[in-house]
């Protein structure tokens, strides 16, 4: 895992979530990095199913690491997953640096993304990274300039992989 491009504090948080059996898939710019595509990113985006157990575990384990979010009120909706789908939670450290963004997703969509994801092993833990094809689909739906640039990087990598 390219540790030098993802802050140690963030890697530790992912390790804790992984070891706590939280269901998640790394998405966004960090997924590019984990696929070996050079990309600067300050945080890690993860996708999780919008279910009660997973959400409570995320809050529990990230708070133990002194990471907090301003969206704690979403915990009141843990028994109403349809109201959570599409919501983002941002977890910050004590200095206010954003480390982890969490996308709450529909269970069926999450399972499809998870099935297609790639397993990446770190030191004493492993995690799932969204497939380049699924990431390409997600990036196409975005209107941000950085996502448009990412599209080209992904297409180039997919071309290289086809040649292998």
- 149-155 mean pLDDT: 80
What pLDDT, on a 0 to 100 scale, did the predictor assign at position 75?
Answer: 87
Q: Helices (H), strands (E): how many in the chain?
A: 7, 6
Q: Confirm if 101 and 28 have CB atoms less than 8 A apart.
A: yes
Q: Give residue for tokens 């390790």.
A: 15
Least confident of 79-83, 86-90, 127-131, 141-145: 141-145
- 89-108 mean pLDDT: 94
Which structure tokens are listed for 27? 């998405």
Least confident of 30-34, 38-42, 55-59, 100-104: 38-42
Pick the CATH number of 3-132 from 3.40.50.300, 3.40.50.720, 3.30.460.40, 3.10.310.30: 3.30.460.40
pLDDT of residue 3 exceeding 50: no
Helix (H, G, I), strand (E, B) or coil at 109: helix
Query: C-alpha angle 13/53/133, rounded to 5°?
Result: 65
């Amino acid at each position: 895992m390219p540790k030098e491009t993802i802050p140690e504090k963030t890697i530790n948080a992912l390790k804790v979530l992984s070891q706590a059996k939280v269901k998640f898939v790394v998405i966004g710019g960090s997924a590019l990095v984990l696929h070996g595509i050079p990309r600067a990113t300050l945080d890690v985006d993860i996708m999780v199913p919008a279910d009660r157990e997973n959400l409570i575990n995320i809050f529990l384990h990230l708070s133990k690491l002194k990471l907090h979010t301003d969206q704690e009120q979403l915990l009141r909706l843990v028994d109403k997953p349809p109201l959570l789908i599409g919501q983002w939670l941002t977890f910050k450290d004590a200095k206010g640096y954003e480390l982890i963004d969490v996308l709450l997703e529909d269970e069926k969509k999450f399972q499809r993304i998870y099935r297609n994801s790639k397993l990446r092993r770190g030191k004493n833990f492993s995690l799932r990274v969204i497939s380049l094809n699924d990431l390409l689909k997600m990036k196409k739906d975005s209107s941000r300039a950085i996502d448009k640039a990412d599209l080209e990087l992904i297409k180039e990598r997919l071309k290289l992989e086809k040649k292998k």
